[in-house]
Amino acid sequence: MQVSHLKNQKLIKKYPFLQQILEWPFEPLDGEKGTGVNDLTIKIQKADGDLLFQYADNFGCGDNSFIASTKHRRQNQVMKRAEYLLAIDSKGWIINQVDWPKTSEEKRGAPALYAKSIFQKEGTGLYNDIQYLVWVRVEAWHDETQDDELSNRFGKFRERIMTVTIYSKPACGFFELERSSVMMKHLMLTSTVVMEGCIREDREMFIISGRLDELCQFFQEEVFYKGMKKVLDEGNVRGASGQFGPVKVLCAEMLGYDRVMLQDDKSWISMQRRPDAESLYVLGMYGTLPQLRNLVKTVIQYWNNQPEARATFKPDRVSVI
């Protein structure tokens, strides 16, 4: 909705620091290299452990990356996006800010920056000074030029969108929230996050990677080699799918590789078996470790204990990412 919308104006009046955020030159800027906002969404939430291990998902600011759209009114448009985290004190002043790396080169050389780094500034803890944490996402949409040169893909400016989420202090306070929040419970895992953590020799990421491998082996022993592969091999097509409670399972052969994906409405994990190999390995994922563990546990329980659910897994023409 527009900045002038009554709902937004009420929130800006209640949280005056929002006006400063709207005027701050956060990239990506509008077509005039300014801070105009065409669409503003303001959300209010309570800070939790998931927030502390959140990280930015930036595109197009400082390099040639972008997100292209083929849908509806965004057809043939491309978008730049950047995210920021701000610390606000009781007087409404911005007292700290996390700027995540925006280019591939910066990401390779940067430490693993999670949102909880907002609590430290020049070696000093800001736990008692922070009243709110504010997550800012800025998107700028342009017409796509179709130019072969990636840096020239951004054509006529269309719209700058800002989403601001205000996180209030939890009842336990920010210090206790950080003390009680652990990576293995709250970090949203992707292949890139796991790989970068291992490259940096992050001890906790090594442990998480091992647990993902164990989940994969557990699924292989309890489901894949206890009937699932047989359905795939004996079907009239090299694919199969089934529904196990809230979890959808897709299985397919792609260029000689067997792939399996487990997904629900919040998370997914995919596994793959190389030609002539015995073991599956984790190919990709999106979700916290508890969410991914729940996907695997749910399918195993249904597969081994509910024949009617197991019978839903049938040959199907599907593809698996």
Residue 280, C-beta contacts closer than 8 angstroms, at least 6 positions apart? 216, 217, 219, 220, 224, 258, 260, 271, 272, 273
Structure confidence by residue, pLDDT tens digits, 78-111: 999 999 999 999 999 999 999 887 666 666 656 6
CA distance 276 to 260: 16
Give the pLDDT confidence score for residue 112 in this predicted structure. Answer: 64
Mean pLDDT is lowest, of 41-50, 111-120, 247-256, for 111-120
Structure confidence by residue, pLDDT tens digits, 218-227: 999 999 999 9
Sign of the CA dihedral 138, 144, 145, 151? positive
Mean pLDDT is lowest, of 128-137, 162-171, 177-186, 199-208, for 199-208
Token readout for 108 is: 């390779």
Give the pLDDT confidence score for residue 110 in this predicted structure. Answer: 65
247-254 and 239-244 strand pairing: antiparallel
Q: Where are the domains of the chain?
A: 6-181, 205-315
The stretch 46-50 carries a mean pLDDT of: 97
Give the pLDDT confidence score for residue 199 in this predicted structure. Answer: 85
Tell me the pLDDT band of 116, cut-offs 50, 70 and 90.
very high
Tell me the pLDDT band of 71, cut-offs 50, 70 and 90.
confident
| % of the chain at pLDDT higher than 90 | 75
The stretch 180-198 carries a mean pLDDT of: 93
CA distance 88 to 302: 47
pLDDT over 90 (residue 319): no
The stretch 245-254 carries a mean pLDDT of: 94
Give the pLDDT confidence score for residue 256 in this predicted structure. Answer: 87
Give the pLDDT confidence score for residue 136 in this predicted structure. Answer: 97
Has this prediction a pTM greater than 0.75?
A: yes
Give the pLDDT confidence score for residue 107 in this predicted structure. Answer: 64
Structure confidence by residue, pLDDT tens digits, 151-170: 788 899 999 999 999 999 99
The angle that helices 203-219 and 191-199 make with each other, rounded to 10 degrees, is: 130
Strand pairing partners for 243?
A: 248
Whole-number mean pLDDT of the chain?
A: 92
Give the pLDDT confidence score for residue 137 in this predicted structure. Answer: 97
The stretch 209-225 carries a mean pLDDT of: 97
Residue 53, C-beta contacts closer than 8 angstroms, at least 6 positions apart? 114, 115, 116, 181, 183, 186, 187, 188
**Nearest one of 77, 75, 58 to 138, comparing CA atoms:** 58
| % of the chain at pLDDT higher than 70 | 96
The stretch 136-164 carries a mean pLDDT of: 90
Give the pLDDT confidence score for residue 127 in this predicted structure. Answer: 97
